[in-house]
Amino acid sequence: MQPAANLNHAAVQVEDDRTGLTPETLKRAFLDNLFYIQGKFPRLATQHDYYMALAYTVRDRLLQRWISTAAAYTEQGSRTVAYLSAEFLMGPQLGHNLVNLGIYDIVQQAVADLGLNLDELMEQEAEPGLGNGGLGRLAACYLDSMATLEVPSLGYGIRYEFGIFRQDIRNGQQVEVTDKWLRLGNPWELPRPEWAVDVKLGGHTEAYTDRSGRYRVRWIPYQVIKGVPYDMPIAGYRTNTCNTLRLWSAQAPEAFDFEIFNSGDYLGAVQDKLSSENLSKVLYPNDNISQGKRLRLAQQIFFVSCSLQDMLRILARQGLALSQFSQKFVIQLNDTHPAVTVAELMRLLMDEHGLSWDAAWDITQRSIAYTNHTLMPEALEKWPVDMFGQLLPRHLEIIYEINHRFLEQVRARFPDDSDRLRRLSLIDESGERYVRMAHLACVGSFSINGVAALHTELLKQDVLKDFYELYPEKFNSKTNGVTPRRFMVLSNPRQTEMLNRTIGDTWVSRLDELKRLEAKAEDPSFQHDWHMIKQANKGDLANYMAKQNGLVINPESLFDVQVKRIHEYKRQHLNVLHIITLYHRLKASPNLEVPPRTFIFGGKAAPGYHVAKLMIRLVNGVAEVINHDPAMRDRLKVVFLRNFNVRLAQRIYPAADLSEQISMAGKEASGTGNMKFALNGAVTIGTLDGANVEIRDEVGAENFFLFGLTAPEVYALKAQGYNPWDYYQGDPELKQALDSILVGTFSRGDGEVFKPLIDSLLNWDPYLLLADYQDYVACQERVGQAFCDRTHWTRMSILNVARMGLFSSDRSIQDYCRDVWRTPAVPIELTDHAQLGE
């Protein structure tokens, strides 16, 4: 569309106040925003008003990049990654945008000149916690890297009104509080109501013959919901690229209200509006477990349909034909949460755009790539066929047809193999019938990837074995990565300054340059400075823990940290068994020579996951006993930090000495916290699981504390018949630790509280804690000894950082671009697009 003729040559002056980067313009812009947007003058303004004024000042400086980027992509018809994810765990935006725009220091100075403190202002921001854990945070890191690498991309997701719950701890137990992150307004989003779309739900389908005599299907829905996009800017690190994260918010469509309104049922119409808005109300708080709720399926089709319709609009707007869809877009599915994309794209192309099955299938299969994030059977999504058909009758028909054609092919390749057909079918018919979303994703995509080398191998051998035999060419591995901008530059300014001083600042976007630090690993003065930085970071965290938990923490103690979602397979309780053992040893032998340790935990449990909640209670029970025991003063402390989120993560990684990555081998797909710790100079104690394997390969076995069974050993032990009782009886220290929990030592004498947890360990122990206990405790002894040799420990810490270059999300994204997406970079020139006629 051309602008109206009389606007063609009109021009807006982009004022200096909205682009200028000098302290003077920044200060003027800040005061201007305080007055004109917040409607406050300094004497009445709150810290939050100041934060908002600063956020708008920064947003203004993003807008020119954002508009130039959109214009360049439109003009050039650039090939674009559509990253579909039910979760984007973005974390606070202000600091990160300051880093990426390269204006952190100057803004810090400007606000200081106004008598304000940048850290305090950043504290005012409500963090967008639109994700559960690793999967959601990975999506956020990937957006940062795509923008930094100038890869055209659109993130598509849901604008949850309530993100992941806030975790409170009362009487040692988790209490969930709703996260009203939008309450005071969100300066980092722009609503785009003009691009709203409708999504249909429920009802039935009808066959009909169109004017050219072709068989067609129309879907008469029971309900229509409007999706309104809200755009967030995603600025690259020191590039002009500013991509978009487009999150959909559910609303009732006016037309629907209107009909009921005319019939006089006004309150009924309002009720419908409310129920429509429920769709994007809340993030499901489960990680690595699928609940099979109708509302969750509705959320999935909602954001998938909105996003695909948006892509088709963009395609048309750029004058491209439907047949060019897979040239314009590559769709990456972040796990199976958006896997209904396969059926919805087919439906849109056939039913709404008149394509034949074959033409639609060709486009669909060429456009979609699927990332798997889990080996946990309970996390594999499947929907009861009845529920699926009631909500998505047309999609179920399409899935049946895909399945029919697919199984025909399988039958041709593997005649007389009905078992294989049953295993591969998109429909699980072993009992109640289910739609298997991972199977739909595998059949409908051209690429299937795991998130670490071991994970991909296990997918090929186990979870997706039949698909690997059928389509070996689709499988590839993409080891996860994390963004050094947020998890080093922003969160660890001391280490960043030292790295910059030593090797220059290009490592921030070329992380392999950290290699050049290796030369310094033996340098005593460098080691000394490195150690002092870790001490200062630990001091900061000690102050935080003093405020939050009322504990006096010795910053000289070994900070032994496990922060991640609470899950049995991640084995936080194995960590606890070691703490109890150490406690018993110190009680029995007060002169035992072990370094003082502070055990730090953080993480949320899914609200319905009772055993995980008990694990939190156990940590707090052990903390209560140990922290109050005078004999343990200066020797052991245990801290559970409430409400682990992105902001808290950024405080913790820089202060860690030891990173706990102790999942049962074969269960953690990759892990990404493991990378964040090591990049901040922590040494890892871990199993050969997920990306730990590759981290150890990179940093060197001598700089990594390895313990535990390997994945093949785990399978072998289980096959041979694992009996946890044998380990309990065979190891007096293990028995003592478990018994002490059972008799109520850590629950004020109540012997019932932890019974379910201990019973499960003694009778079943699916994650082999008891089998790995002895090796873990022995390994922890080696850790303690190594920590006592400060030079040795510091050298390990330096070498960990120096050798972690592979684990930048920039490297991951380059791998995806090269092997899967085939998306060339598009450099952006800043032009004055405020010139309306362009």
Binding site for ligand NBX (CB under 6 A): 132-135, 138, 286-288, 290, 373-374, 379, 451, 480, 668-672, 690
The half-sphere exposure of 471 on its side-chain side, counting CA atoms within 13 A, is: 21
As measured in angstroms, the least distance from the Cβ of 828 to ligand NBX is 29
CB 577 within 8 A of CB 615: no
Residue (374 or 687) nearer to ligand NBX, CB: 374
User: How, if at all, do strands 382-384 and 368-371 pair?
Assistant: unpaired
Residue 145 Cα distances to 36, 235, 273, angstroms: 34, 10, 38
List Cβ neighbours of 563 (8 Å cut-off, separation of 6 or more): 600, 601, 602, 603, 641, 644, 648, 649, 652, 673
CB 788 within 8 A of CB 646: no
Catalytic residue, candidates 65, 328, 373, 696: 373
Tokens of 703: 């700089």
- CA diameter of the chain: 92
Tokens of 292: 């099979």
As measured in angstroms, the least distance from the Cβ of 653 to ligand NBX is 15
The half-sphere exposure of 223 on its side-chain side, counting CA atoms within 13 A, is: 21
CA dihedral 354, 357, 361, 362 (to 10 degrees): -80
Residue (118 or 606) nearer to ligand NBX, CB: 606
CB 539 within 8 A of CB 802: no
Which position's Cβ is nearest ligand NBX? 134
As measured in angstroms, the least distance from the Cβ of 129 to ligand NBX is 12
User: How, if at all, do strands 368-371 and 447-450 pair?
Assistant: parallel
Cα–Cα distance for residue pair 213/208, rounded to 1 Å: 9
Tokens of 313: 């609009």
Cα–Cα distance for residue pair 739/748, rounded to 1 Å: 14
Q: 221: helix, coil or strand?
A: coil
Residue (276 or 670) nearer to ligand NBX, CB: 670
Taken as a whole, the chain contains a residue count of 838
Cα–Cα distance for residue pair 196/253, rounded to 1 Å: 10
Cα–Cα distance for residue pair 424/422, rounded to 1 Å: 6
The half-sphere exposure of 465 on its side-chain side, counting CA atoms within 13 A, is: 6
Q: 356: helix, coil or strand?
A: coil
CA 423 from chain center: how many Å?
30
Q: List the Cα angle 132/814/154 in 5-degree steps.
A: 55
As measured in angstroms, the least distance from the Cβ of 227 to ligand NBX is 21
As measured in angstroms, the least distance from the Cβ of 346 to ligand NBX is 24
Residue (451 or 761) nearer to ligand NBX, CB: 451
Catalytic residue, candidates 564, 567, 617, 811: 564
Residue (25 or 659) nearer to ligand NBX, CB: 659
Residue (228 or 464) nearer to ligand NBX, CB: 464
As measured in angstroms, the least distance from the Cβ of 304 to ligand NBX is 15
Residue (290 or 549) nearer to ligand NBX, CB: 290
Cα–Cα distance for residue pair 52/310, rounded to 1 Å: 30
H/E stretch holding 228 reads strand 223-235
Residue (249 or 290) nearer to ligand NBX, CB: 290
As measured in angstroms, the least distance from the Cβ of 549 to ligand NBX is 27
Cα–Cα distance for residue pair 549/648, rounded to 1 Å: 14
As measured in angstroms, the least distance from the Cβ of 285 to ligand NBX is 9
List Cβ neighbours of 60 (8 Å cut-off, separation of 6 or more): 17, 18, 19, 29
As measured in angstroms, the least distance from the Cβ of 373 to ligand NBX is 4
CA 709 from chain center: how many Å?
28
Q: Which amino acid is at 632?
A: M
Residue 391 Cα distances to 291, 298, 337, 605, angstroms: 16, 7, 16, 30
CA dihedral 303, 307, 313, 316 (to 10 degrees): -150
Catalytic residue, candidates 246, 474, 538, 676: 676
Residue (527 or 670) nearer to ligand NBX, CB: 670
As measured in angstroms, the least distance from the Cβ of 475 to ligand NBX is 16
Residue (16 or 378) nearer to ligand NBX, CB: 378
As measured in angstroms, the least distance from the Cβ of 566 to ligand NBX is 13
CB 41 within 8 A of CB 35: yes
Residue (55 or 451) nearer to ligand NBX, CB: 451
CB 674 within 8 A of CB 634: no
Catalytic residue, candidates 570, 571, 578, 635: 570
**In the annotation, is 565 catalytic?**
yes
Residue 789 Cα distances to 223, 558, 730, 793, angstroms: 67, 12, 33, 6
Nearest alpha-carbon partner for 447 in 427, 420, 426, 467: 467
Catalytic residue, candidates 486, 565, 803, 811: 565
In the chain, the N- to C-terminal Cα span, in Å, equals 11
Neighbours of 103 (CB within 10 A): 17
Residue (286 or 403) nearer to ligand NBX, CB: 286
**In the annotation, is 373 catalytic?**
yes
**In the annotation, is 667 catalytic?**
no
Residue (103 or 289) nearer to ligand NBX, CB: 289
**In the annotation, is 564 catalytic?**
yes
- For helices 610-628 and 755-763, the axis angle rounded to 10 degrees is 110
**In the annotation, is 637 catalytic?**
no
As measured in angstroms, the least distance from the Cβ of 380 to ligand NBX is 9
Cα–Cα distance for residue pair 57/107, rounded to 1 Å: 10
As measured in angstroms, the least distance from the Cβ of 141 to ligand NBX is 9
Residues annotated catalytic, as ranges: 373, 564-565, 570, 672, 676
